[in-house]
Chain A
Amino acid sequence: MLNQLCLEDIKIGMNLPILKKKATSQQLVMYAGASGDYYQIHYDQDYAKSNDLPGIIIHGALKNAFLGQLITDWIGEYGNLLELSVQYRGMDVPEDELTITGIVSNIKVDSNKSNTVYCDIWIENSSGKKSTIGKAIVNLPYQKRSK
């Protein structure tokens, strides 16, 4: 359990790590191919504009994947992701530097000692707008006692 995050390591109000992403237009095409989402608003400027959009936009589901990575990186091998929700409040565009992070909002430990950790998570774009907000629910292992 090298560098494994444990329940004892966290507290309510604690910041999650920061993940930075800058999606290139190439990444959007890779994501289109890998996910099978071929909707043209993600790679065809003219098509996107004819749909009243500012230009090509990042797949919401790719931003969802970034938030997924934030959590799975943080909880490590022995943490379990139980729920992940995202709401797209605004559109994001390629080449913008996105900051992906969150905060521990609650921790519940029940009588069986099983724990549930609640996080508020979000993506902030370079103009400081939270374009995507969400929640994650995870559980974490307890620290191994040495004796």
Chain B
Amino acid sequence: MEDSIKKALNEYIGSETKAVTYEVELGAVLKFSKAIGDDNPIFTNPKLARTSRYRGIITPPTFLRSMFHDSSEEKIFFAAGVDGGSEWKYFEPIYIGDKITVIKKFIDFFTKDGSLGEMVFQVNEIRYINQFNQIVATQRTTGISYEPKK
């Protein structure tokens, strides 16, 4: 990795994206559940979900992936990337109509040689906050960046 990129990444540690807020829409949750092939009535059937302990539809565990952080000021350092993994913590259920604010914080980076050449691992923590100012979930993500040889 070039020194200039390393320096830029180092300066970037601890920075947070601008907050962006989304409303959880029924149609979006139904479409997401269908896309992942999950037919759990709590995620898909408003009528049955109403009789559940949640009194309505809640979102499947990874639905928050559809609520992106604000990337307008994000710097792109590498041409290509793949997803390395996620660590989710869940604190509150997410209901239809909730307003979820998304903020991503850049935690750290490190490099490793692997199947795609020199791979740069970037660790971020995304927090998701509802309209009651409760953190409903956090997601620590590891993104793997590399320069394609072709």
Residues of A within 8 A of B (CB): 21, 27, 30-31, 33-37, 41, 49-53, 57, 59-62, 64-66, 68-69, 71-73, 77-78, 80-88, 91, 134
Give 15 CB contacts A-B under 8 Å.
A34-B32, A35-B35, A35-B65, A52-B116, A60-B85, A65-B36, A66-B36, A69-B36, A72-B38, A72-B61, A83-B90, A84-B86, A84-B87, A86-B85, A88-B82
Interchain CA distance A73-B37 in the complex, whole Å = 12
Whether A85 pairs with B86 at a CB distance below 8 angstroms is: yes
Whether B148 pairs with A52 at a CB distance below 8 angstroms is: yes
Whether A21 pairs with B31 at a CB distance below 8 angstroms is: no
- A61 to chain B: which residues have CB within 8 Å? 62, 65, 83, 86
Interchain CA distance A73-B145 in the complex, whole Å = 34
- B61 to chain A: which residues have CB within 8 Å? 65, 68, 71-72, 81, 84
B81-112 vs A: 1/0 string, CB under 8 Å? 01111111110000000000000000000000
- A57 to chain B: which residues have CB within 8 Å? 82
Whether B89 pairs with A82 at a CB distance below 8 angstroms is: yes
**Cβ-neighbour of A85 out of B28, B65, B87 (below 8 A):** B87
Whether B82 pairs with A21 at a CB distance below 8 angstroms is: no
- B149 to chain A: which residues have CB within 8 Å? 52
Min CB–CB distance A44 → chain B (angstroms):
13
Min CB–CB distance B119 → chain A (angstroms):
11
Min CB–CB distance A79 → chain B (angstroms):
11
Whether B89 pairs with A87 at a CB distance below 8 angstroms is: no
Whether A65 pairs with B66 at a CB distance below 8 angstroms is: no
**Cβ-neighbour of B88 out of A27, A41, A85, A87 (below 8 A):** A85
